C-alpha cells in the first residue's frame, strides 16, 4: 500500500501480489501498518515505458563494434546492467527492439522472475532485415514470403512480445542507407498480417518516406523513427504527414539525449534537425499519436536511463505536459499492447511506479528527481 499524490490528488494505492488491487481517492488515511508514506511533495506516477531500446548496445563510441566483438556471455552481462540502469530511473517497461539472436528473451525471463533485476522487457528478438541489411549482425535476415512468415512464427513460438522489421536502412550499419527501403509494401504486409494473426504487434523501423508510406499501408502498429530522411536532407511531404497523423498508428519518435551527440552524428544530423522537428511538430499539431522510443544504447548521449530526459523535447514539439507524460506511460502501453497492465494506476494494473519530487505537470524536470521506484510491488529504489 502506498500513500501519496497522483494527478487526481491524494491517493492510497493498495497493492497485493505485484498488482494494484484498489486506488482510494477518498483521502482517508489507511490504517494498515504496511504503508509506505511517500510524503506530501512526492508524486506517484505509473512506471515509465521506453518503446524502443537496445539493451545490447553499450552507449559507447562504437556500439556496433563492441556488439560484434562481444560473445553471448559478455553481451548478457551488459544487457543485465543496462536493464538495471533503466529500472533505477523509473523505467519499469522497455521494448527491446533488437539484440543478437534471442538473448533479450533470456534477460526478459530474468526480470520477470526477479523484479529488482530490471524493467519488464518486451523483446523483439533479432529485427527482421534483408541479407546484409540494417543490423544484419543481429541474425534476423529473411527475404521472400516463406522466410518472412517463418521468421514471424519463430518469434511468436519463442515468446517475443513484438515483431520488429527494418523497413528502411539505417545509419549504424555500414553500407546501409537510411533513406532507402529494404522491403516493399507487400513484404511488410506479409509480416504484419502473420504477426497480427498470432496476436503480436509489429514495429517497423522506417526512416525514408517510401518506407514510412509502405509500413503505414501495411498496417504496422508502431512506426519507429519516422524521420522523413531523404538522400540530401529531410523530405517534407505534407500529405504523408497528414495521413500519418490521422492513421491512428503510433509514431515512436526517437527522442532523449543526455549530453552531446558524437561529432560525426552531429555533422550528419544537425543540418536536418530543424526541418525534422518542424515535421514532427506538424505531426503533433494534427493529432498524431506520439510515443517515445529513445533508441537507448546507440550513442554515449543515449544511456539506458535517458527516457525522462525527453520531456523537454516533447514540449518543444508542442505536446502539453500531461500528454508528454502519457507519451511515456499510458499511450506507450497501448502502443506496445500492454494497456490495462502498464502505464496506469488503477486496479488490476501491475504495481510499477516511479515516485518523483514535485509536480511533473508543472515542472518536467521533476521526472529526474526520482525518490523511489517500485516494480511489481517491490521497492527497487
Q: Can you give the binding site for Zn ion, defined by CB under 5 A?
A: 295
CB of 346 to Zn ion, least distance (A): 31
Which grid cell sits at 55?
539493451
Indicate the residue among 64 and 370 with the shorter CB distance to Zn ion: 64
CB of 296 to Zn ion, least distance (A): 9
Distance in angstroms (rounded) separating the CA atoms of residues 165 and 275:
26
Indicate the residue among 52 and 371 with the shorter CB distance to Zn ion: 52
Distance in angstroms (rounded) separating the CA atoms of residues 134 and 127:
9
Distance in angstroms (rounded) separating the CA atoms of residues 249 and 215:
10
Instruction: Give the list of residues 6+ apart from residue 88 with CB closer than 8 angstroms, or none.
Output: 305, 370, 373, 380, 381
Indicate the residue among 54 and 280 with the shorter CB distance to Zn ion: 54
CB of 308 to Zn ion, least distance (A): 19
Instruction: Give the list of residues 6+ apart from residue 124 with CB closer than 8 angstroms, or none.
Output: 95, 96, 97, 98, 104, 155, 160, 161, 162, 163, 164, 203
CB of 295 to Zn ion, least distance (A): 4
CB of 262 to Zn ion, least distance (A): 16
Which grid cell sits at 113?
522472475
Q: Which residues pair with 374 in a beta bridge?
A: 353, 379
Indicate the residue among 51 and 366 with the shorter CB distance to Zn ion: 51
CB of 310 to Zn ion, least distance (A): 15
CB-closest chain residue to Zn ion: 295
Indicate the residue among 124 and 367 with the shorter CB distance to Zn ion: 124
Indicate the residue among 290 and 373 with the shorter CB distance to Zn ion: 290
Nearest Cα residue to 298 out of 50, 24, 110: 50
Amino acid at each position: 500500500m502506498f500513500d501519496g499524490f497522483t494527478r487526481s490528488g491524494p491517493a492510497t494505492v493498495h497493492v497485493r501480489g505485484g498488482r494494484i488491487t484498489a486506488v482510494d481517492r477518498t483521502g482517508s488515511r489507511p490504517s494498515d501498518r504496511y504503508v509506505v508514506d511517500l510524503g506530501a511533495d512526492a508524486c506517484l506516477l505509473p512506471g515509465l515505458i521506453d518503446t524502443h531500446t537496445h539493451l545490447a548496445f553499450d552507449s559507447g563510441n562504437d556500439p556496433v563494434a563492441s556488439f560484434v566483438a562481444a560473445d553471448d556471455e559478455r553481451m548478457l552481462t551488459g544487457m543485465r546492467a543496462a536493464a538495471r540502469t533503466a529500472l533505477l530511473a523509473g523505467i519499469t517497461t522497455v521494448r527491446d527492439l533488437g539484440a543478437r539472436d534471442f538473448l533479450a528473451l533470456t534477460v526478459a525471463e530474468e526480470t520477470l522472475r526477479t523484479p529488482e533485476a530490471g524493467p519488464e522487457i518486451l523483446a523483439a528478438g533479432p529485427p527482421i532485415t534483408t541479407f546484409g541489411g540494417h543490423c544484419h549482425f543481429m541474425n534476423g535476415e529473411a527475404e521472400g514470403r516463406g522466410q518472412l512468415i517463418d521468421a514471424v512464427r519463430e518469434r511468436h513460438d519463442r515468446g517475443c512480445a513484438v515483431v520488429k522489421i527494418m523497413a528502411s536502412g539505417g545509419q549504424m550499419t555500414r553500407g546501409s542507407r537510411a533513406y532507402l527501403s529494404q522491403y516493399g509494401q507487400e513484404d511488410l504486409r506479409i509480416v504484419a498480417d502473420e504477426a497480427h494473426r498470432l496476436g503480436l504487434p509489429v514495429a517497423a523501423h522506417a526512416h525514408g518516406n517510401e518506407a514510412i508510406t509502405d509500413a503505414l499501408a501495411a498496417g504496422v502498429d508502431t512506426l519507429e523513427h519516422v524521420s522523413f530522411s531523404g538522400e540530401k536532407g529531410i523530405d517534407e511531404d505534407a500529405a504523408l504527414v497528414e495521413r500519418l497523423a490521422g492513421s491512428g498508428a503510433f509514431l515512436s519518435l526517437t527522442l532523449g539525449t543526455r549530453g552531446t551527440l558524437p561529432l560525426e552524428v552531429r555533422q550528419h544530423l544537425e543540418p536536418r534537425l530543424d526541418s525534422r522537428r518542424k515535421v514532427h511538430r506538424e505531426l503533433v499539431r494534427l493529432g498524431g499519436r506520439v510515443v517515445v522510443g529513445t533508441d537507448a544504447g546507440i550513442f554515449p548521449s543515449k544511456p539506458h536511463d535517458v527516457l525522462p530526459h525527453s520531456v523537454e523535447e516533447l514540449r518543444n514539439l508542442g505536446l502539453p505536459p500531461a500528454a508528454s507524460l502519457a507519451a511515456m506511460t499510458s499511450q506507450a502501453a497501448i502502443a506496445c499492447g500492454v494497456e490495462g497492465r502498464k502505464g496506469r494506476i488503477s486496479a488490476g494494473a501491475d504495481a510499477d511506479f516511479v515516485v518523483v519530487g514535485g509536480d511533473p505537470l508543472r515542472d518536467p524536470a521533476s521526472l529526474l528527481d526520482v525518490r523511489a521506484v517500485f516494480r511489481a510491488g517491490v521497492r527497487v529504489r
